[in-house]
Amino acid sequence: MTTAISLQNVVKTFGPTRALDGLDLEVATGEVHGYLGPNGAGKSVTIRALLGLLRPDSGTISLLGDDPWRDAVDLHRRVAYVPGDVNLWRNLSGGEIIDYFARLRGDVNTKKRDDLVERFDLDPRKKSGTYSKGNRQKVALVTALASDAELLILDEPTSGLDPLMETIFQDCIGEVAEEGRTVMLSSHILAEVERLCDRVTIIRKGRAVQSGTLDDLRASTRTSITVSTERPIERLTSLEGVHSARTDDSGHVHFDVDNHQLNAALSYVTGFGVRSLVSQPPTLEELFLRQYGDDVTEDEPEESV
């Protein structure tokens, strides 16, 4: 397995703001990698540094094996990018802009372009100043998808798309992945991340706080348990890894348990004669809310991977 993107201990400051604060990130060739984090975490800054638009203060960045600050032009032939804010030249039509960017990299693949324009239901004749937000985004998406770049870097590419277009986008990325190309996808849409991404990295305040497959992430958090037993469970809260235990009116006991303590907790509970037991893995939302929230570092100090 080779690496398409690798950042090591990257720091980027803007005056007093530490936008990237010792960031580590690895994206393997051929994977679809989700890049997530709360607003202002540093996702767009990472991506701009990856494209050689920003120069990091320290740390090393490698994009497809080269330094993006030094070798920007050659690297960019192999990379397609959809920016977070799509700004187009207002008095050029969408079609003109798509073709312009295609010609910058070589030739226009008219068949692929027409196909994408049709799938995304885009009117290429409109001046881009009159496009809606979603349509501006479509112009950028068609541009990126019509190229045969080996790496696609997408910064919240679907934040303005309707659900129908969202599905089409997901299909397109699926096809890209099948061709063995690499995708780095920054997104706030969890369903999209779940469906598309092989692995994800979560960044907070300029540092990676989690990285792995979604299953890894799930495994590293807690499971909610609801159990009713013959005898009252004694001293449940004194067990390691058990959180927010309580008993409801009907006598059911609810608690959360860290997954690496799951086995111990369950063995302990069975000692009180289990009548029924329901276990629930965390939903994706819970997973991310926990990672995004401010309590994450106090709660799980060992988790920075």
Partner 1 sequence: MSPTTTAKHAQVSASRAGSSQSHPLAALGDLLRFMIRRDRVRAPVWVLAVVGIFTAGVGSVVGLYSTPSQLQNYGEISSADEAIKAMAGPGYGLENPTQGAVVMNEMGLYTLIAISLMCLFLVVRHTRTEEDSDRAELVRSAPVGRYATLTAATLWVSGLNLLTAIGVTAGLLAFGLDTTGSLAFGAAAFGIGMVFVGIGGVAAQVATSGRSATAVGGATLGIFFLLRAVGDVGPEWVRWVSPLGWAQGIRPYAQERWWVLLLLATASALLIIGALRLQSRRDLGAGFLRQRQGPAVGSPRLSSPLAMAARLQRGAIIGWCAAIGIAAFFFGLIANLADNLLENEAISDLLVQSGQASPTDLFLATMVLMLALLASCFTVSSVLRLRTDELGGHAESTLAGPVSRARWTGSHLLVSTIGSVVLLLLGGLMLGVGYAVQIGDASEVLPLVGAAIAMLPPLLVLSGVGFALFGMHARLAPLAWVGVAFSVVVGLLAETLDLPQWLRNASPFEHVAAMPAESFAPLALVILLAIAAALIAIGAVAVNRRDIG
Ligand X SMILES: Nc1ncnc2c1ncn2[C@@H]1O[C@H](COP(=O)(O)OP(=O)(O)OP(=O)(O)O)[C@@H](O)[C@H]1O
Binding site for partner 1 (CB under 8 A): 48, 51-55, 72-74, 76-77, 79, 81, 83, 85-101, 103-105, 108, 110, 124-127, 129-130, 140
Binding mask 73-92 for ligand X (x = CB under 6 A): -----------x--------
End-to-end CA distance of the chain: 20
Kindly state whether residue 43 participates in binding ligand X, applying the rule CB under 6 A.
yes
Kindly state whether residue 84 participates in binding Mg ion, applying the rule CB under 5 A.
yes
Q: At CA 219, angle to CA 216 and CA 222, rounded to 5?
A: 140
Kindly state whether residue 267 participates in binding ligand X, applying the rule CB under 6 A.
no
Burial 148-177 (b: 16+ CB within 10 A, else e): ebbbbbbbbbbbebeeebeebbbebbeebb
Sign of CA dihedral 123, 127, 133, 138: positive
| Near ligand X in 125-154, by CB under 6 A | none
Compute the CA torsion angle 159, 79, 47, 220 (nearest 10 deg): 80
Q: Which stretch binds Mg ion (CB under 5 A): 29-37, 40-48, 222-230, 251-259?
A: 40-48
Kindly state whether residue 44 participates in binding ligand X, applying the rule CB under 6 A.
yes
The answer to whether the CB of 102 falls within 8 A of the CB of 113 is yes
Partner in contact with 77, chosen from Mg ion, partner 1, ligand X, none, beta carbon below 5 to 8 Å by kind:
partner 1
**Comparison of 12 and 43: residue with beta carbon closer to Mg ion:** 43
- Please, what is the minimum distance in Å from the beta carbon of residue 159 to ligand X? 9
Residue type, 28: A
Question: Which residues are bridge partners to 26 per DSSP?
Answer: 6
**Comparison of 147 and 210: residue with beta carbon closer to ligand X:** 210
85 Cβ contact list (under 8 Å, min separation 6): none
Partner in contact with 92, chosen from partner 1, ligand X, Mg ion, none, beta carbon below 5 to 8 Å by kind:
partner 1
- Helix, strand, coil percent values for the chain (each to nearest 5): 35, 30, 35
**Contacts to ligand X by CB under 6 A:** 14, 17, 19, 37, 39-45, 84
**Contacts to Mg ion by CB under 5 A:** 43-44, 84
